[in-house]
Amino acid sequence: MLIIKDLKASIAGKAILKGISLEVKPGEIHAIMGPNGSGKSTLAAVLAGRDFVEVTEGTVFYHGKDLLGMAPEDRSKEGIFLGFQYPIEIPGVSMVNFMKTAVNEHRKHKGLDPLSASDFLKLMRDKKELVEIDSKLANRSVNEGYSGGEKKKNEIFQMAMLEPKLAILDETDSGLDIDALRIVANGVNKLKRPDNSTIVITHYQRLLDYIIPDVVHVLYDGRIVKTSGKELALELEDKGYDWIKKEVENQD
Amino acid sequence: MNGKSEVTEFYSGLYSSNFERITEGSSPYINSFREEAFGNFAKLGVPTRKNESYRYTNLDLFFKHDYKTYFIPDESDFQKAEDFRCDVTDLDAHGVVLLNGFYPTVNGKLRKLPGGITIGSLNEAAKKFPDLIEKHYGKYAGSETDGLVHLNTAMAYDGVFIYVPDGTVLKKPVQVVNLVDSKEDTFNQHRNLIIVGENAEFTLIICDHTLSPKKFLTNAVSEIYVGANSHFDIIRVQNEHNNAAKITHTFIYQEKNSHASSNNITLHGGLVRNSTYHYLGGEGAECNSYGLYLSDKWQHVDNYVNIEHAFPNCTSNQLFKGVLDEMSTGAFNGRIFVSPDAQGTLAYQKNNNILLTDDAKMDTKPQLEIYADDVKCSHGATVGQLDDNALFYMQSRGIDKRQARLMLMFGFAHEVIQNIKVEALRERMDNLVMQRLKGELSRCASCMVKCG
């Protein structure tokens, strides 16, 4: 589904990603962990198409297509979803209008007619229930005045509406209390299908109590320094990141 | 006085050469203001950029022009006005049309609406209702610095007159459509007088249109009196072509516990200057002053707001927003004056602007003069671009950049539109704003008027 090869990227001339290779197969859940500043969010930004990150080397193929050559909106329509670490507030644009536009853009891309107003509202209702989001939020401007937890739930709600093939959740757990964390994780699990994949980017292990990864990668200083099964996450929780840093330094 | 400018001379000449025609048909009371007003105009002149409140607006672009006519119509001119129908079909309103500032004569000059409301020609009303005119005419419009208010008073002949008696609630709004139409470049001035009694409720919609592609200059004054405990809304929609200039001066005088709001929506026009004066003349009065302007090419839109808190415990709120494209320019000047007696004043002001290009320019200036102690006052102004993070967020959900920009701009503008209480008009404005932002609304061809 997603094949990243020797990806190098910099921000304002400073190298952040220093050669990342990674393959995600249909149905897999990958966790990318790592200390602060290791490049986790930059990787998410590259995959979503943010223009402040400059890719200097390497390739990313998504379903056989060159992802790096695609506009952000086309990536979305092809089935990639980025859950933002800091969801953006958009004053004056209602959640309903925002989602209706997005859903219909996706449908147009698939050659489908736009949803009727009533079908759309029904879809909104169903998905809201799924992610346990307050239905009043939908009438407000996108993320405006939402609490931190509401913003994160709203990300999962949008994911539910757009049904991506590959979801990249960037620090979706940060700033969540345990109840919100459970709701967010449940949402992700309910949306899981055998053919769609998820990349969970997180600093802490606790989200992985709820979303069980198939593969865990540790990112450090712009490189993947360790890849293993889900037990790696527990080990990190137990021992922190220092031993990994030492291992890397010893290798150098 | 340091010698009249050439421009001021021209308009003084227009006054002299039309003096007889104007005074002949006007009521003696309206005529009684002319001499002094003309004196004031001669002294103050057409405002230049040395005038603090016109600092960012170059009136010469339109005033320095040899307008061929000062329009006084005859009956045949009114056929087009009579034929005009607003295409907001679901807007349920009592309609009035002014042609170049004059009230059509075809179907009688004054008419009655439910609740004893009178609407019609100011010229006619001045003869029929001298008591009302003497109580209100010329009482609210005035300026120590703006010669154009005086030029209007000196030459005013006709316009809309509305009288809403005490206790009358009119659910349907009244819609005044100002049509400008001439085969020659024309200078127009009209004068409106709106009197809303006590405990009344009234909504007025004013639509400004141009019907022919000549150069036009309009200098209009509206005097509005809002009685105690009354609610009054005025919504002005401006949609004129790029070769037209619209200067409006709206004076709203409010008695105690009254609510008034003004909303100036400028969709199109070469040069637009709206001066809105709110006088809070009794305890507990409240006013909202809103504005939205969308400009492109060489358009210039200037909003001047003057709010005077003369009594305790009054509230005022200003919200003006603009989207400026290409090399268009804009100005906002919001003055809040709080007199020493006006304790317990609440006054808010906000002006936000989006510049879509490096060439667009906006000057914004708050002007607070506060002489009381117990006052809550806030003001804020922003001039910026569309938020890149918001654009990316929308793109990441599959919305292309063009559409995302449009949605952001529309959302920005809607904050002003949403204050229009008349639903059909609000929806229509949302529509027009969307069209305007898409660039589909250009020149008068696409204005609400079906020209020819």
Question: Domain containing A233 — which CATH number?
Answer: 3.40.50.300
CA A69, CA A61: separation in Å to the nearest integer?
A: 10
Cβ contacts of A162 on chain B, cutoff 8 Å: 397-398
pLDDT of residue B75: 65
Question: What is the per-residue pLDDT for B74?
Answer: 65
Select from B398, B400, B408 the Cβ nearest to the Cβ of A90.
B408
- Cα–Cα distances (Å) from B91 to A67, B235, B433, in that order, read 50, 14, 17
Q: Quick one: which H or E segment has residue A234?
A: helix A231-239
Q: What stretches of B161-286 show up as alpha helix (H) in DSSP?
A: none
Q: Determine how many CB atoms are found less than 10 A away from the CB of residue A21.
A: 14
Interface contact A88-B390, CB threshold 8 A: yes
Q: DSSP string of B334-345?
A: EEEEE-TT-TTE
Q: CB–CB of A105 and B399 under 8 A?
A: yes
Which residue range(s) make up the domain with B109? 6-446
Closest CA to B325 of B291, B367, B279, B357: B357
| C-alpha span between A173 and A155 (Å, rounded) | 11
Residue A227 domain flag: yes
Residue type at B3? G
Q: Are the C-beta atoms of A18 and A34 separated by less than 8 Å?
A: no
Q: What is the 3-state secondary structure (H, E, C) of A53-122?
A: EEEEEEEEEECCEEHHHCCHHHHHHCCEEEECCCCCCEEEEEHHHHHHHHHHHHHHHCCCCCCCHHHHHH
Q: Residues near B207 by Cβ (< 8 Å), separated by ≥ 6?
A: B86, B175, B176, B177, B178, B236, B237, B239, B448
The shortest CB-CB distance from A102 to any of B389, B392, B398 is to B398
Chain A residues within an 8 Å CB radius of B394: 90, 93, 98, 102
- Given the DSSP bridges, would you call strands A29-33 and A197-202 parallel, antiparallel or unpaired? parallel
- pLDDT, position B350: 97
Enter the DSSP assignment of B169: B
* Number of separate domains in chain B: 1
- Best to test chain B binding among A47, A50, A101, A139 (most B CBs inside 10 Å): A101
Indicate which of B352, B387, B392, B419 best probes the interface with A, i.e. most A CBs within 10 Å of its own CB. Answer: B392
Residue B234, strand partner residues: B204, B262
Residues of A in contact with B411 (CB under 8 A): 90-93, 141
- For residue B1, is it within any domain? no
C-beta neighbour count of A96 within 10 angstroms: 16
What are the C-alpha distances in Å from B430 to residues B139, B267, B297? Answer: 36, 11, 22
Burial label for B217, CB within 10 Å (0-12, 13-18, 19+), is: buried
Beta bridge partners of B377: B347
B414 at A interface, C-beta within 8 A: yes
Contact B396 A76 (CB under 8 A): yes
Spell out the residues 6+ positions from residue A51 whose beta carbon is closer than 8 angstroms to its own: none
For residue B102, what is the DSSP state? B
Look up residue B97 and give its amino acid.
Answer: V
Query: Does the residue B451 lie in any domain?
Result: no
B391–A contact, CB cutoff 8 A: no
Phi-psi region of B441 (alpha: psi -120 to 50; beta: other; left: phi over 0): beta
The reply to whether A122 falls in a domain is no
User: What is the structure's pLDDT at B89?
Assistant: 61
Q: Are B431 and B425 in contact (CB under 8 A)?
A: no
Residue A203 in tokens = 């600093």
Of A92, A102, A141, the CB nearest to B397: A102
Tell me the chain A residues in contact with residue B393 when contact means C-beta distances shorter than 8 Å.
84, 87-88, 90, 142
Check CB contact under 8 Å for B387 and A102. no
Structure tokens at A13: 């001339």
Q: Which of B395, B401, B411 sits opposite A92 (nearest CB)?
A: B411
What pLDDT was estimated at residue A217? 95
Q: Is the Cβ–Cβ distance between B154 and B60 less than 8 Å?
A: no
Residues 6+ apart with CB under 8 A from B189: B101, B151, B152, B155, B156, B157, B218, B219, B220, B221
- A94's CB contacts (< 8 A; 6+ apart) are A138, A139, A140, A141, A142
d(CA B181, CA B73): 11
Question: B399 vs chain A: nearest CA distance in angstroms?
Answer: 6
Tens-digit pLDDT string for chain B (452 aa): 445 688 999 999 989 988 998 899 899 999 999 999 999 999 999 999 999 999 999 999 999 998 877 666 666 667 766 666 665 666 788 888 888 888 876 667 899 999 999 999 999 999 999 999 999 999 999 999 999 999 999 999 999 999 999 999 999 999 998 888 888 899 999 999 999 999 999 999 999 888 888 899 999 999 999 999 999 999 999 998 999 999 999 999 999 999 999 999 999 999 999 999 999 999 999 999 999 999 999 999 999 999 999 999 999 999 999 999 999 999 999 999 999 999 999 999 999 999 999 999 999 999 999 999 999 999 999 999 999 999 999 999 999 999 999 999 999 999 999 999 999 899 989 988 988 888 876 443 334 443 33
Element containing residue B330 per DSSP (H, E): strand B329-338
The DSSP code for B148 is: H
Residues of chain A positioned with their CB less than 8 A from the CB of B396: 48-49, 72-73, 75-76, 81-82, 84
Contact (CB<8Å) B387/A88? yes
Asked whether residue B304 is domain-assigned, the answer is yes
Interface of A with B (CB under 8 A): 48-50, 71-73, 75-77, 81-82, 84, 87-93, 97-98, 101-102, 105-106, 109, 141-142, 158, 162
The CA distance from A20 to B388, in Å, is: 28
Enclosing domain of residue A247: 2-89+165-251
Contact at 8 Å (CB) between B344 and B374? yes
In this predicted structure, what is the pLDDT of residue B446?
38
Distances (CA, A) of B301 to B242, B273, B351: 11, 6, 14
Residue with tokens 């209100």: B136
- Residue B403: list chain A partners with CB under 8 A: 101, 105
Residue B185 lies in a domain: yes
Closest CA in chain B for residue A73: B398
A231 part of a folded domain: yes
Chain B residues touching residue A50 (CB < 8 angstroms): 392
Spell out a b/e string for B400-413, using b for 16 or more CB atoms within 10 Å of the CB, else e: beebbbbbbbbbbb
pLDDT at res. B441 = 65
In chain A, the number of structural domains is 1
Say what the pTM is. Answer: 0.87
**Which portions of chain A are predicted below pLDDT 50?**
none
In a domain, B68, yes or no: yes
Which of A73, A92, A97 comes nearest B400 by C-beta?
A73
Q: Beginning with the edge strand found earlier in the chain, give each strand of the sheet holding A80-83 in spatial order.
A: A80-83, A166-170, A197-202, A29-33, A215-220, A223-228
The complex's ipTM? 0.95
Query: Which of left, alpha, beta for B219 (phi over 0: left; psi -120 to 50: alpha)?
Result: beta
Q: Is B349 helix (H, G, I), strand (E, B) or coil?
A: strand
Q: What is the pLDDT of residue B59?
A: 95
Nearest CA in chain B to A91: B411
Flag whether A94 is in a domain. no
Token pair recorded at residue A234: 């527990």
Contact call for residues A132 and A190 (beta carbons, < 8 A): no
Distances (CA, A) of B267 to A120, B9, B177: 32, 32, 15
Do residues A99 and A121 touch, judged by C-beta distance below 8 A?
no
